[in-house]
A and B are shown apart, each in its own frame.
Chain A
Amino acid sequence: MPHNAMAPGSVIDGFVIGEKIHTGGMATLWRVTRADIDQPIVMKVPTILEGDDPTVIVGFEMEMMILPRLVGKHVPKFYAMGDFASQPYLVMEYIQGYSLFTLIEKAPMPAANVARIGAKVARALVDLHRQNVLHLDIKPSNIMIRDNGSAALIDFGLSRHLFLPDLLEEEFRVPMGTGPYIAPEQVMKNRSEPRSDIYSLGVLLYYLATNVRPFGLPQAQSQLKKRLWRDPVPPRKIIPDLPPWLQEAILRCLEVDPADRYETAARLAFDLSHTDQIKLTARAQKTKRDSLPVSWKRWFKSIGEDGGPIQPVRQSNLAPIIMAAVDFTEGQEALAEELLVNVRRVLATMPGVRIACVNVLKLNRLTITYTLDDEGRSVHVQRLVELRDWARPLELGQERITFHVLEHMDPAEALIEFASSNHVDQVLIGARASSSFRRFLGSVSSQVVARAACTVTVVRAPRALADVEAEEEKMIDKDCA
């Protein structure tokens, strides 16, 4: 292949080659420019050795299939590509920020920082999985933190698009991934499981929190398989003051069976953004690994697994997050009650659903941060108590329901922000009886309907027909006046 002739100053399809910024085993990265593109861009060129190493080529082909189909801030923007017939390359956005790889020297990091980074990466995974792509090589060097703080995933050479042929699966008979980070099912050659990315993120968080890799640096295939039956040392054994919620989150990511992990990246992002609401189980308290007989049992089970053909599944909506926006204004009790009825209906039809109960504490311009009532009680705490009381008839455990009081000057804005940053799948919100006042100013619910990115269900309290008719008559009178 002629790409060895690449050098600063040469031109490929209108791209002027600049400085070489990275040389890796699979590819080299060059800064490039083209007159019509005013963003900083890079050209990725596969390193093709004598004898056409198939891993490099097929990996690059996968990236050529997947990257042009991806959109959003959590991936590099795609600009152009060149075919293998002449000069293979991909031109993409140069991401300004830093690589998570540079953070490793700061490990062990404080729990709050680990959670913050984990939430960022989980959010990037939500966006990727929604586009039907699994990354399958989540590790520090494949994650960039942009200058604006959001995470961007790079290098899709081992990725899988669920609606495109998987060239890697057909080409290779060995598991593909990066030793310390690869998920157990990937070791068994299943490349269709979105929760593999959650596992790898769990390894990353473990490493950042403890400065220890949970499964070491395996070199051989047999060492990779060990993670199918031997559980890692609990992080709290290494860092005794590591909070139980972080151990809970990390070990849940690292469950061998994907069904025992977080159902979706959105659920993980949610927990890492609301760490005080993480439901603690026996995982949180573990201080040693499982006993050898327990491990042996898993080992016997693991040798039966053959990693046969697996059909990809679309799984995002098996585990939705539903937000219930509850209003405690005086006189709206019937509406809050009706909202509860609707939440029950959702629970009955979707067993895997998780409910986030949200109430907005409206601040006025003069309030600074904390709100006390006349007797000096915290209004915030009082609202939280009311929220819990409202939801009590649902009888949901902590793993199914969370409570949030948002303090904001603009209730609609607060609800829309919460729905977006927590990847809420559906909002249930009450609307008060219509009035001409609200017709002009726009109610909170109508703003949420107009601006939220997800499904919004507007709930109204049932009213007597006579009331409705009286209201309508009043409005007609007004319109005629």
Chain B
Amino acid sequence: MRIGFLSDIHGNREALDACLAHGARTGIDRWVFLGDLVGYGADPQYVVDCVVRHMETGALALLGNHDQAVVDGLAEGMNEYARAAIEWTARQLDPAAAALIRSLPMSILEDDRLYVHSEAHSPKSWNYVTEILGAERSMNATEARVTLCGHVHRPQLYYMSRTKPPGYFLPQAGTGIPLIGRRKWLAVLGSVGQPRDRNPAAAYAILDTDRNEIAYQRTPYNVEKAAAKIHAAGLPQMLAARLFIGR
């Protein structure tokens, strides 16, 4: 089975559509949305509707910290731009979309895989995995052989054997990486709707369970259009500007 993983869409319709189309061309049996469907971008209602449609045909979706903040009205610890976007987004969503978001789980265990937005050790703390120690804590917290998460907006891959500290790898887009046994793997995905690794192209990943391979993917999308909508919505300028440079 080929599973497409989309994380941190953040209300970016153009980026989401580009990833779904890119994935469809290579053949995807099922989509998994790893959280942060909304916040930042100008099309939150569209993105939630799209996720709901996919869930009707078997897709899975998780809760992210921005999703939670939108429905609970809590944006503590977020910077002013994120807070402004949360408040704006809360006003855009219809009640059905808000109810859907409230129903999303924090994590899902499927076969030997764990799906979670931030990391496995303490999902509700919304910790960022940016280095080996954080990755090790997450991998030690789960029995799952493969964990897939997002939240950081930068693609990373960690792996750990029973005896040694984890290794880190910066994945190349499009190359299938075998997730060989005897190890735990933590795949941190890049962001669909707001990449921050200096590459503006939308990021997602495809896991092929038969081949036991993960392939990180990049696909360019119409940044100008997504940015113009952010601008027109009266959201902070900075949220539009960063899309062009991927930061």
Say yes or no: is B140 at the interface (Cβ < 8 Å to chain A): no
Q: Is B159 an interface residue (CB 8 A)?
A: yes
A351 CA / B242 CA spacing, docked (Å) = 36
Contact A65 B167 (CB under 8 A): no
CB pair B159 A165 closer than 8 Å: yes
Q: A163-B175, A165-B157, A165-B169 are in contact. Are A64 and B163 (CB under 8 A)?
A: no
Residues of B within 8 A of A169 (CB): 167
A163 to B165, CA, bound (A): 21
Q: Is the interface of B mostly helix, strand, loop or mixed?
A: loop
Residues of A within 8 A of B180 (CB): 61, 64-65, 83
Interface residue? A164 (CB, 8 A): yes
- How long is the Cα–Cα vector from A58 to B167 in the complex, in angstroms? 13
- A160-171 toward B: CB 8 Å interface, digit per residue (1/0)? 000111110111
- Of the residues A61, A84, A165, contact of B177 by C-beta under 8 Å: A165
Give which listed residue, A64, A65, A163, A171, contacts B161 with CB less than 8 A. Answer: A171
CB-CB under 8 A from B163, the residues of chain A are 54
Chain B residues with Cβ under 8 A from A57's Cβ? 182
Is residue B181 contacting chain A, with contact meaning CB distance below 8 A?
A: yes
| Proximity bits, B146-185, A CB within 8 Å = 1, else 0 | 0000000000010101011111010010010110111000
Partner of A167, one of B167, B172, B175, B181: B167
Q: Is the CB of A84 within 8 A of B167?
A: no
A170 proximity list for chain B (CB < 8 A): 159, 164-167
Contact between B167 and A165, CB atoms less than 8 A apart:
yes
Bound complex: CA A65 to CA B185 (Å):
15
Complex Cα spacing A164 to B172, Å: 8
Establish whether residues A84 and B182, one from each chain, have CB atoms under 8 Å apart when the complex forms: yes
Q: Does A85 contact B (CB under 8 A)?
A: yes
With contacts A163-B172, A164-B175, A171-B161 taken as known, whether A85 is within 8 angstroms of B167 at the C-beta atoms is no
Check A65/B178 contact, CB under 8 A, given A165-B167, A167-B167: yes
* Chain A nearest Cβ from B126, distance in angstroms: 27
**How far is it, in angstroms, between the C-alpha of A54 and the C-alpha of B181 when the chains are bound?**
14
| CA A57 to CA B159, docked complex, whole Å | 16
Contacts A165-B157, A165-B167, A171-B161; is A85 near B178 (CB within 8 Å)? no
| Distance from A331 Cβ to chain B, minimum over Cβ atoms (Å) | 49
Q: A170-B164, A171-B161 are in contact. Are A164 and B182 (CB under 8 A)?
A: no
Given the interface pairs A57-B182, A61-B182, A84-B182, the reply to whether A164 lies near B177 with Cβ below 8 Å is yes
- Residues of A within 8 Å of B164, CB to CB, are 170-171
The residues of A that contact B172 with a CB separation of less than 8 Å are 163
CB distance from A312 to the nearest CB of B (A): 10
Roughly how many angstroms separate A83 CA and B163 CA in the complex, as a whole number? 19
Measured between beta carbons, the chain B residues less than 8 angstroms from A58 are 161
CB distance from B220 to the nearest CB of A (A): 20
B119 to chain A minimum Cβ distance, whole angstroms, is: 19
| CA gap between A57 and B166 in the complex, in Å | 17
Q: In the bound complex, how far is the Cα of B17 from the Cα of A65, in angstroms?
A: 33
Closest chain-A Cβ to B89's Cβ sits at a distance in Å of 37
Q: Is the CB of A83 within 8 A of B181?
A: yes
Question: Roughly how many angstroms separate A170 CA and B182 CA in the complex, as a whole number?
Answer: 15
Docked-complex contact A85 and B161, CB < 8 angstroms: no
A416 to chain B, nearest CB (A): 31
Q: How far is the CA of A167 from the CA of B172 in the complex (A)?
A: 16
Chain B positions within 8 Å of A54 at CB level:
161, 163
* A58, A65, A83, A167 pick with most chain B CB within 10 angstroms: A167
Closest A residue, CB atoms, query B180:
A61
Name 5 extra pairs, CB < 8 A, besides A57-B182, A83-B181.
A164-B175, A164-B178, A167-B167, A170-B164, A171-B164
Provide a sorted-by-A list of 19 A–B residue pairs whose CB atoms are within 8 angstroms: A54-B161, A54-B163, A65-B180, A83-B180, A83-B181, A84-B181, A163-B175, A164-B169, A164-B175, A164-B178, A165-B159, A165-B167, A165-B177, A166-B167, A166-B169, A169-B167, A170-B164, A170-B167, A171-B161
Q: Lowest 7 CB-CB distances: which A-B pairs, in order?
A: A170-B167, A165-B169, A163-B175, A163-B172, A65-B178, A84-B182, A84-B181
